Amino acid sequence: MKSLMFALALSVAGCAPVPATSNQSGRSQDDVLVATNFGAVGDGVTLNTAALQRAIDACSAGGGGTLAIPAGRFVTGTIQIRNGVTLRLATDAALLGSTNAADYRNIDPFTDGTGAARGFALITAVDAERVGIEGGVIDGRGADVRAAQGQSFAVRPFLIRWVRCKDVAVRDVQLRNGGAWTMHFFQSTNAIAERVTIRSRGLPNNDGIDIDSSQDVRVSNCDIDTGDDAICLKTTSALPCRKITVTGCQLASRCAAIKLGTESLGDFENIHVSLCKVHDTHLGGIKLLSVDGAHLHDVVISDITMDGVTVPIMLRLGARLKTFQPGDTRRPPGELHDVSIRNISATNAQQIGILISGIPGHPVEAVVLENIKLRLAGGGQPDGKAGIPEKQDAYPEINMFGGKLPAYGMFARHVKGITLHNVEFSTKLPDARPAVVFQDVTESKTDGSIVPATLP
């Protein structure tokens, strides 16, 4: 391998053409390995798992560098990225997931929040450093993988998993049609995902980017449209999500656009989300959920626009109290505090504008809502219910308390310390419910106006 300075230069060189001339080691004249020199065939039919793995292993054994995937359609099962290796796909290159379940491996299994066994993946890296993916297309062909298995669908491959990795960079790649979550960062540090495009709506649980028990992660300028949560921070282990930044993204989802939880065994702290556009999201726009014992705090979400979101903002502190990894200890109910949500606008919201609920003895604390304008459908009527059930151990979702809530703008319960500044609700149709209902809320402050209004 050449000098470290030359290797760093390669890492920022984009998807420049790779010289075809190579020696017997498979290395090009620019010291970049080429997958076809190891027997990979981009005909859309040949199974290339072994050839791609040989190339990755050779690249890592030589000190790391770039494995170039030239133009073509390369079918593969599970491949594992090793230390120091970046996959660089040419503009016209695609990695296609095999439709045969036997071609996938579950290298680091775990259980998700629904109780399902997970961990199979098309591309994975475990305990690796200085790794990444750049350019081209990675298509898991999830619907075809499912069809080939019939009713069982026991093998549901993620598209990409980074497990206990350090120094990860994913740039300028199109990710499509995962069998489950699209890209999962688990217990990883110093990771970047930028200019990533995700299109994965075909199956349930098609999350976009999941940041799980990881630290120092930045997601920027990504375009994500998914069947499940678009960007989801979670903790399926006791390690926290810490120092996470999400900015400049466009998000759409059948579920949530921006979510912390549901899996929430480890803590969430120092989280910043900003400058994102959310559209066509069928459940929650912003959802902050601690239900498995997490201490969720020091979260700032700002400058988010939404159109077509059922509930723009939801905060829930509950007591489901699940564990997800063998040997993990069940935690008591956690905490949700010191959250700032500001400069938020939403149009065509449906069920309610803001839903905040702790549980008896465990209030949500120190929440600031500032410069928020939400336009809702309206048309609601009081349902005459005596009360809203607590559902302390239920899965947290926007419809967990029933379809009809006592307010159309904001319902807050079991909250200690909430500040509202320039929060405005409006409805397209008249709504017979009050704009805001507080239950067991203490130390509330209103600076500015909450304006119930009906727009023509």
**Rounded average pLDDT over 125-147:** 97
Please give the Cα distance from 167 to 132 (Å, whole number). Answer: 8
**pLDDT surpassing 90 at residue 8:** no
Quick one: pLDDT at residue 447? 81
Quick one: pLDDT at residue 326? 86
As a whole-number percent, the residues of the chain with pLDDT over 90 amount to 83
Quick one: pLDDT at residue 386? 64
Confidence of residue 454 (pLDDT cuts 50, 70, 90): low
Q: Which of 45-59, 348-362, 370-384 has the lowest mean pLDDT?
A: 370-384
Q: Beta strand pairing status for 105-111 and 117-126?
A: antiparallel
> How does DSSP assign 340-397, residue by residue?
EEEEEEEEEE-S-SEEEE-BTTB-EEEEEEEEEEEEEEE-------S-----TTSPP-
CATH code 2.160.20.10 for 66-454: yes
* Widest pairwise Cα distance in the chain: 79
**Rounded average pLDDT over 268-279:** 98
Quick one: pLDDT at residue 167? 98
Tell me the whole-structure pTM to 2 decimals. Answer: 0.91
**pLDDT surpassing 90 at residue 40:** yes
Residue ranges per structural domain of the chain: 66-454
Looking at per-residue pLDDT, the higher value among 305 and 15 belongs to 305
Question: At residue 345, what are phi and psi to the nearest 5 degrees?
Answer: -130, 145
Confidence of residue 449 (pLDDT cuts 50, 70, 90): low
**pLDDT surpassing 50 at residue 28:** no
Question: What is the pLDDT of the chain when averaged over all its residues?
Answer: 91
Please give the Cα distance from 287 to 341 (Å, whole number). Answer: 11
**Rounded average pLDDT over 3-26:** 35
**pLDDT surpassing 80 at residue 50:** yes
**pLDDT surpassing 60 at residue 27:** no
Quick one: pLDDT at residue 25? 38
> How does DSSP assign 87-105, residue by residue?
EEE-TTEEEEE-S-GGG-E
Please give the Cα distance from 323 to 318 (Å, whole number). Answer: 14
- 71-117 pLDDT, tens digit each: 999 999 999 999 999 999 999 999 999 999 999 999 998 887 777 77
**Rounded average pLDDT over 406-421:** 96
